Homo-oligomer: A and B are copies of this chain.
Amino acid sequence: MPRQETAERPVGAPAEPTDRRAAILETAARLICEKGYEGTSIQDIADASGLTKAGLYHHIRSKEHLLLEIQNYGMDVFEEGVLKAVMPIPDPLERLKACMAKNILMVTEGWSKEVTIILHEHATLTGEARAHINARKKRYVRFLETSFAEAVKQGQIRPVNPKVAAFAFLGQVLWIYKWFRPDGQIGAQDLAREMIDLFFVGLEAKGAPAKAKPPAAAAKAKKR
């Protein structure tokens, strides 16, 4: 297929997220994970979505844009379902806990595993598209860092390095798609409760063990 930037979307086709569009992008994500990006044709996606090729182009721009569209769709759903809901919570510790719960439910139930895979493993985007998705991801990291820093400042949690805490949080939550099975021993709600417990009890602990120095202070002293 030749590289055409915008010619493939018919005039007047909507670009905004709809349930129909979400279903198509979920289907595309599944096919791409099964057969690879190169091995998946627009016809395959149309067939699996019960659409003609022309019908499909009402919902997606082009095969070239598909990975970006799936990643943007994933970030849209994430920002709508997680960030928008937790950002207004004034208490930073409550905000972080709610954020972990919602993010875990998003990863386990909110969208297909394949959307997570494309969001976090497909390094195929380049240039502006890559910069755009990376900026959306970084916004989340900064939100977490800021919330951890606030919680430290307010004395709600021990003095930890906000960056390490943010990435530890993310690693714990985002690794879930690698091992979680919806029909497995642990349900999504139990998992969220247990991970919040694992992560935050230690932060709220008043006294760290005698051996451990306050890590944020130690790191600062060394690095700055």
Could you list which residues of chain A lie within 8 angstroms of chain B, going by C-beta atoms?
Answer: 33, 38, 120-121, 123, 141, 158, 160-161, 163-165, 167-168, 170-176, 178-179, 185-186, 190-191, 193-195, 197-205, 208-209, 212, 215-216, 218-219, 222-223
Output the nearest chain B residue to A204 by Cβ-Cβ distance: B209
Q: Are A215's CB and B202's CB within 8 A?
A: no
In the assembled complex, how far is the CB of residue A92 from the closest CB belonging to chain B, in whole angstroms? 16
Per the bound structure, the CA–CA distance linking A179 and B194 in Å amounts to 25
Instruction: Using known A-B contacts A171-B171, A174-B175, A175-B170, determine if residue A202 contacts B209 with beta carbons closer than 8 Å.
Output: no
Q: Are A212's CB and B186's CB within 8 A?
A: no
In the assembled complex, how far is the CB of residue A26 from the closest CB belonging to chain B, in whole angstroms? 18
Q: Are A194's CB and B172's CB within 8 A?
A: no
Which residues of B sit under 8 angstroms from A163, Cβ to Cβ? Answer: 185-186
In the assembled complex, how far is the CB of residue A35 from the closest CB belonging to chain B, in whole angstroms? 12
Instruction: Using known A-B contacts A171-B172, A171-B176, A185-B163, determine if residue A219 contacts B194 with beta carbons closer than 8 Å.
Output: yes
In the assembled complex, how far is the CB of residue A204 from the closest CB belonging to chain B, in whole angstroms? 6
Chain A at the B interface: SS class: helix
Q: Are B171's CB and A175's CB within 8 A?
A: yes
Of B175, B185, B198, the contact of A202 (CB 8 Å cutoff): B198
A-B contacts besides A120-B178, A168-B199, A198-B215, 13 pairs, CB < 8 Å: A161-B186, A164-B194, A167-B175, A171-B171, A171-B173, A171-B174, A186-B223, A190-B222, A197-B208, A197-B212, A198-B199, A200-B202, A204-B209
In the assembled complex, how far is the CB of residue A183 from the closest CB belonging to chain B, in whole angstroms? 12
Which residues of B sit under 8 angstroms from A201, Cβ to Cβ? Answer: 158, 202-203, 205, 208-209, 212
Of B33, B197, B204, B219, the contact of A160 (CB 8 Å cutoff): B197
Q: Are A186's CB and B164's CB within 8 A?
A: yes
Q: Are B164's CB and A168's CB within 8 A?
A: no
Which residues of B sit under 8 angstroms from A165, Cβ to Cβ? Answer: 198
In the assembled complex, how far is the CB of residue A184 from the closest CB belonging to chain B, in whole angstroms? 9
Which residues of B sit under 8 angstroms from A204, Cβ to Cβ? Answer: 202, 209
Instruction: Using known A-B contacts A174-B171, A175-B167, A179-B167, determine if residue A218 contacts B202 with beta carbons closer than 8 Å.
Output: no
